[in-house]
Structure 1
Amino acid sequence: MIDDSAVAGGSESAVPASPWTPYSERPIARARRAKAQELIERLVTEGRVRITDPDDDEVTEWRRLLNYAKRHGLEPAGKRIEKATHGGPGLELFLAASPHPNPRSQRSKVGGDPFPVPPRLGNPHPIVIALKGDERRLVMPSALRRRSLLLLQGPGG
């Protein structure tokens, strides 16, 4: 039989020695955040940052920094980071003067779809009836076909 007296006597702590650390506080994330903030400061001050003749690992690290800065909202208000090729394998990073043309953060969260989609086909238009009955038209997965028919019907359903 195993002697559990040491554990039962309370000499072991019930709390783990190293609690879970959130990703943002881990060394790699902190280092990446510091580098991304430094990059943003350089872009604001210098306007453009050119990386000449980077190797594949450097390009990967720059892309990670850019993605981190974008994901964590480090870009200055009303600006976005852009990258372009420079001198062959080189990169040029700069701040564009407007927000990204298709940002996720600007998509409407209120009201759902940008177009009203009726929940069902009630009193469908004759063309929608014809399309619904002809499997050779609107050839696509059934869920998309149904949504297409609902969109063609319009909000009046």
Structure 2
Amino acid sequence: MIDDDSAVADGSEPAALTNTRTPYSERPVARARRAKAHELIEWLVAEGRVRITDPDDDEVTEWRRVVNYAKWQGLEPAGERIEKVPYGGPGLELFLADGLHPNARSQRPKENGGPVSVPSRRGNLHPIVTADKDDEHQLVMLSGLRRRSILLLQGLSAEAVRRGYEVRKVHSCFHSREGGVGIVVDGLAYTVNVRQKFLQSTDPDRSARLVVELTHGLTGRPGCW
């Protein structure tokens, strides 16, 4: 037991306790990831593309972490960025693309992001939104509400693409009066639904209200508008 009132016999100050914890950057896992990130950059510069075929889940996870490490440590060649796309099912293809990623830190939108523009016409829809539009079992509502719902989903999808996020089909089952898209941000998938708020109301104003809902439950941010 340490006695706070104890004094060193010669009157000098007691030695300070030394923090012996190894910094994360010097731990074996971090050193190995740093070495692998440098190796990946050298490989990409020399070969242009790297294909990882038939990896297991742990390998895919580790490669994604290596790519993220290279990005956050600024290891990418000047004026280029690492891109990764699926290859042959579970595999990955990594390559260098010109320019900064739309979602690079220097180009990220401000905290509130500003308003999302909603188009006035249904031309040039994102393929996922087109699938919702063509599915007669989704967004079963009056034609005017259905059109507005499609335009809302298109506005959100277009903004997601502009920021460099992936837009994908949602595989969960919706209520027939709902439709939605999946948006992947930094590897995390979120579902955005649009639905009619008051299904049984006979009030024209209430029955015309739509809800945009983010099904996440992981943060304190609003999830329903």
Structures share a fold, TM > 0.5?
Answer: yes
| Rg larger in structure | 1
Letter in 1 for 2:100: P
SS of match in other structure, 1:36:
helix
CA distance in 1 between partners of 2:55 and 2:88 (Å): 11
> Corresponding residue for 1:23?
24
Aligned residues: 121
Gaps spanning 5+ residues in structure 2: where? 116-205, 213-221
Gaps spanning 5+ residues in structure 1: where? 116-135, 145-157
- Give the direction of change, closer, same or farther, for the CA distance of 1:49–1:86 in structure 2 (3 Å limit): same
Structure having greater relative contact order (Cα 8 Å, sep ≥ 6):
1
The answer on whether the counterparts of 2:102 and 2:108 sit within 8 Å (CA) in structure 1 is: no
> Corresponding residue for 2:16?
14
> Corresponding residue for 1:38?
39
> Which TM-score applies when normalising by structure 1?
0.59
Could you report, residue by residue, the CA deviation over 1:7-44 in whole angstroms, capped at 9, with x for unpaired residues? 8557x8533262x4332222221211111011011001
SS of match in other structure, 1:61:
helix
Q: CA RMSD in A?
A: 3.6
> Corresponding residue for 2:99?
98
More helix by share: 1
CA distance in 2 between partners of 1:39 and 1:99 (Å): 18
CA distance in 2 between partners of 1:81 and 1:13 (Å): 49
More strand by share: 2
CA distance in 2 between partners of 1:51 and 1:25 (Å): 27
Letter in 1 for 2:86: T
SS of match in other structure, 2:51:
strand
